[in-house]
Chain A
């Protein structure tokens, strides 16, 4: 297969396993491009991409912008906080006005789950979801999967072709995390075994129906897994108290050096960023050689280049 089954990347849930393989295989090519003396190809030079961010972002916005620039696309950046959205303009009006200036693709982050789906029904451009509320963050899940395959394939000198039999734990604030949602779909499609671990108040009800295990015991989960993807406590999305204090959270669900050293094997530590140092991860864990947090960021550019390249191939 050399064509995606979708015109927009809104959710991993909408993809087929073949789509994920196609994106990750294409990312291999772009990773090689990024290692060249001139890290840029002219492929999308006739395409304009709008990065529309209704919510704050550092990594994702920079990563998308770099991916676009490495593909030679023209980019415009739009932050809602400094725009006419403040004057009461609707989402569809805002985006249609941007598209009237001949924009081909839209990368959007929005605080409301479902905003990209709504948009895709009303506008003509191809849409890439860069995070919609607590729903999905598909490119993060793709780069996480890619990073796991790369790290675990290191010994063979080649990225793994799937995640069959790989045990991945997703730890922390599952309830508010769009990264968890997208990751579960992507990991399951690639054949991984997934366990979710966190305080019961931050665990969505009936989540087992997605084919994952749930555990409330961090030590036991870490002992089981090959890879631990640690999520950020999303205080900005928590309107009520889900746990007594950050101190108590980190006591039960924070990962520190001592805990890692007590395990029978060396596991891989991941985090989508930004890290609350000292809460979900201590600094000596985040900066250790077991952590692939910065590789995740590096791979993000290649994976996003692949997504933009393949979606641009579907433009008229």
Chain B
């Protein structure tokens, strides 16, 4: 199986811009909304969205947090090594807010399921929405659907979706690559 690029650098930028416009359509000035990136890789996307939104809406300050759902996962002890957590930092009250959860690749849905549990321990939001860059729509294990999707792909389980970020020294790119055992 060959590796192939499904989003190149230009399409990547356009996709993020489109997602931002969709968010603005629904949340206008974000006075009652907040962005929360899911650790580890949702945080990069969430920061990118945040920067773009603040560029599109000059003067608007958007509440931003990061959430780690490791302690809420259902596969603890199914791995050889314990799962290690990353930072969680939500320095505002989410009660009554419209929370936009952000993750890069939406696959089985289990990460988001645990993120929802984790989020609810911070309070009762008015509404929770899900934004993802890539939706692998044929691989869901739980009944969760994203509200904002960058690109939908029909990759099979023997393939992996890999997102590269310019923050990590490469070009922004999304690949589908064969899964290495």
Contact = CB atoms under 8 A, between A and B. Distances in A.
B170 to A, nearest CB: 25
A230 interface: no
B117 interface: yes
Nearest to A313: B82
A38 B119 CA distance: 10
Contact of A26 (B85, B89, B123): B85
A32 B87 contact: yes
Contact of A309 (B72, B82, B121): B82
Interface in B74-118: 76-77, 79-89, 117-118
Nearest to B90: A36
B71 A42 contact: yes
A47 to B, nearest CB: 9
Interface residues of A, number: 21
A234 interface: no
A32 B81 contact: no
Given A36-B122, A312-B77, A41 B84 contact: no
A313 B77 contact: yes
Contact of A42 (B72, B80, B82, B84): B72
B77 A3 contact: no
- A contact face: mostly helix, strand, loop, or mixed: loop
Contacts of B82: 2-3, 309-310, 312-314
A314 B77 CA distance: 7
A275 interface: no
B40 to A, nearest CB: 13
Nearest to B118: A41
A88 interface: no
Contacts of B121: 36-38, 40-41
Interface in A23-63: 25-26, 29, 32-33, 36-38, 40-43
Contacts of B79: 313
Nearest to B71: A41
21 contacts: A2-B83, A2-B84, A29-B86, A29-B87, A32-B88, A33-B88, A36-B121, A37-B122, A38-B121, A41-B71, A41-B118, A42-B71, A42-B117, A43-B71, A43-B72, A71-B71, A310-B82, A313-B76, A313-B77, A313-B82, A314-B82
Interface of B: 68, 70-72, 76-77, 79-89, 117-118, 121-123
Given A38-B121, A41-B71, A41-B121, 10 more contacts: A25-B84, A29-B86, A29-B87, A29-B88, A32-B88, A32-B89, A36-B121, A42-B71, A313-B81, A315-B77
Closest 3 CB pairs of A and B: A313-B82, A41-B71, A29-B85
